[in-house]
Structure 1
């Protein structure tokens, strides 16, 4: 298994939920971390620096990249975990909310890739982790916009993998229902992890899958990891 000690990581959406769980596990593995979030937590490990960043804003990502390069240098790990949900009918929902979800989930990840991966390529090695969802490739009532962003992300990830091999490993981690504040922060809809009825993963369980991929020996790439509560149907 590959040791992570001494590596540098950037985590978008690292302030809560899955992103924060990944941060905590990487910190414990002695990785130096740049945590980017709309609302970074006040208390962080000594090896973690926080940055306020709205990934839906192109200028904010440019500023984040400049600050990280100056203060941390080129990361060897990029984790794109920032995301928002929306739960609306396509015939009744608010297109402005849909645009925000697209800008956050899809364009935010694309912009993070565009900002950070060229320097990783120049360095000759690295990992990109994209947090997707089992919603990718699925159609279900009220979930069209959210599922569309996650479907697009998986196409982006596979395209990126082909463009950056063999230097950079690209992994999609697609969790099922996970008990985090994601549902509280959904732009519309009243679902909770409990109301969906399948049980739920913890953020820490998803983070363990991320670390499992990162710890694979050089030359071994786990490109897709799906995990879900055992009772979840899709």
Structure 2
């Protein structure tokens, strides 16, 4: 891992921030892309302001990362947004924002940064999904749909970049981060769901486990949950 270069979307908080911390500790040159800078600045990471829903912002991010860090050989797509609304009553503008963040943001990052990995002949792409992928539940339709789509995107990407790049999906259950506070609609918290919760660091450990496999070994999907969580 020493000397590798990573870019983490949504790296300013939550799971993305925990991943950035662990990669930096493993002596990976680490870049963070987020709307807001981390609460605690780290000398070992580079921060770039970026709205992943904005195509021009992704173009600017690509240019800035290339100039200041170089071509990443690890891309962690962690930027995400939740919405908890009934399909017959919710706000389509909010739904579109979640789709643009969770799905289109990831697609744009893949399109921008993966070609250089293919040219270099190696790399890792990690997509942070959710146990909600493929799981219908009341008020979660739009969010779950974006995570389901991401898992299809990940598997499609895996086939398209074989055998050069490894693609990993990490699908956590309830995780105690600011995700619930930042959800566009809904009043859930990690505590109110009632299963207990993972920490962001525990999810980041799963990411690191996948990345630290020897060349030729791919961990393509990791699901982790609080033990009491039923789905």
| Structure 2 counterpart of 1:160 | 157
Partner of 1:70: 67
TM-score (norm 1): 0.98
CA distance in 2, matches of 1:227, 1:43: 27
Indicate whether 1:224 and 2:221 are aligned.
yes
Pick one of 167, 174, 177 that aligns with 1:177: 174
Number of matched pairs? 231
Mapped contact 1:128–1:168 kept (Cα < 8 A): yes
Secondary structure in structure 1 of the residue aligned to 2:177: coil
- Deviation per CA, 1:119-166, whole angstroms, max 9, x where unpaired? 111000000000000000010000000000000000000000000011
Give unmatched runs, 5+ long, in structure 1: none
8 Å contact kept, 1:88–1:188: yes
RMSD: 0.7
Structure 2, gaps ≥5 residues long: none
TM-score of the two chains, using structure 2 as the length reference: 0.99
CA distance in 1 between partners of 2:24 and 2:228 (Å): 32
Quick check: 1:127–1:214 contact (8 Å CA) kept in 2?
Answer: yes
Which residue in 2 is equivalent to 1:125? Answer: 122
Q: Partners in 2 of 1:84 and 1:42 — Cα distance?
A: 19
Superposition misfits of 4+ residues, deviation over 3 angstroms? none
1:27/1:45 contact within 8 Å kept = no
Secondary structure, in 3 states, of the residue corresponding to 2:86?
A: coil
Query: C-alpha distance in 2, partners of 1:112/1:204?
Result: 23
| Corresponding position: 1:23 with 2:20 | yes
